[in-house]
Amino acid sequence: MEEPRKLKGHKASTTCCIASQNRPGFIATADEDGCVCWFDLRCKDKIFTMDVGNGNPVSSICFKPGNEDVVYVSLGSEVKCFDVNMVTASKLLHSYNYNKDEINQIACSSKSSFLAAADDSGDVKIIDIRQNRMYKTLRGGHTSICSSVQFIPWRPWEVITGGLDSKFVLWDFSKGRPRKIWDFGTLNAGNKGDTGQCLNAAFVHALALPEVDVVDKFVKICAVARGDEVVSVINVESELNAVKSKSSAKPKKGSKSTPKVGGSSADPEIENQNGGDLHLDHSLGGHTAAVSCVTFSTFGDKGKFIISGGNDRQVKVWDWVKFFMAGETISGTDFLRSSLSLSRKVNWLCTTPTDSENLIVCDTSKIVKVYNIG
């Protein structure tokens, strides 16, 4: 593997990054000093730097879908919204202070109606960004830190969250309650020793979902970066259909009311799942330490690869489609497309929709690396 291109501009460890889908090669990276650096990969140097945190680390950053001139940044318990249309300058548009604890990740819905902010208390705040007001608090799904949140592109009123309680929760945020909870901790308790792997706690560190145009070609899945060295690929629709079937089959006791679809009651079903999902672990060439981040490829055949980064200083490129297209008869070694060895632990990564310089990696250094993935 050739040496990566190195982007300089940060004075502290980089924490996260995003890549424009409308302007290929245009990326933003953030760091622990509260700065956001903007790069155009067609140019040699950075375009400009935004000091958004006054020394406080930036934990997450995202574009507003449909309008990438607007960007959201989280730091501490606050979310800030900026207009970056001027290219060499930015303007603060809004500031949201609804979270009571440190925010770990923010995400914007595909219709640009809502923004979700997951924090250390386990809560998720859903903010109406059209009316700039609080919409709903999602509480009770996690018993520990909520580390990640993503809207489900093909389900406009649902989000998925992951936490350091090893829970993976699907919410109906219009009602403010879970529809389904997966417990990876329970799954691990039954599987320890199967792979010869030394399993750490199955904390959920990051989530990624493909865009709508991708799921139309493939399967409606979610990729989960786990603390026990595993990348899980969950067939979301298959799991929800199973819940719906169980809910519909329950006998009605003294009531003629129709059961709620998907088990969306105050007591969501909790189960450890295995069938129909793919778990990419060390035995398949996977990570040997906690997986810290995960994303879908936006280059080439969009969404065909899942890319994960870990505390083992490795980046893995996975061909997940083979499992769902060919079933479980495929050889396990065929899932790993390629692997990159880095000198630092990986904090975050993202991809660009270009044929080269298409993988951006933020590690624990202040230098952003750019790789070519074929």
For the chain, list residues with pLDDT below 50: 190, 192-197, 254-275
pLDDT in tens, 340-356: 999 999 999 999 999 99
Q: How many distinct helices (H) and strands (E) make up the chain?
A: 4, 29
How confident is the model at residue 89, as a pLDDT? 75
Q: Exposed e or buried b for every residue in 52-90, given b needs 16+ CB within 10 A?
A: bbeeebbbbbbbbbeebebbbbbbbbbbbbbbbeeeeeb
Task: Tell me the C-alpha to C-alpha distance, in Å, between residue 184 and each of 151, 264, 324.
Answer: 20, 20, 21
How confident is the model at residue 132, as a pLDDT? 96
Whether residue 152 contacts residue 236, with contact meaning beta carbons closer than 8 Å, is answered with: yes
Cα–Cα distance for residue pair 65/110, rounded to 1 Å? 6
How confident is the model at residue 243, as a pLDDT? 66
pLDDT in tens, 174-228: 999 999 999 999 866 545 444 444 568 999 999 999 987 777 777 889 999 999 9
How confident is the model at residue 323, as a pLDDT? 86
pTM for this structure? 0.88
Cα–Cα distance for residue pair 36/10, rounded to 1 Å? 8
Listing from the earlier edge strand, what are the strands of the sheet with 306-310? 291-296, 306-310, 314-318, 336-341
How confident is the model at residue 238, as a pLDDT? 83
Beta-bridge partners for 307: 295, 317
How confident is the model at residue 45, as a pLDDT? 86
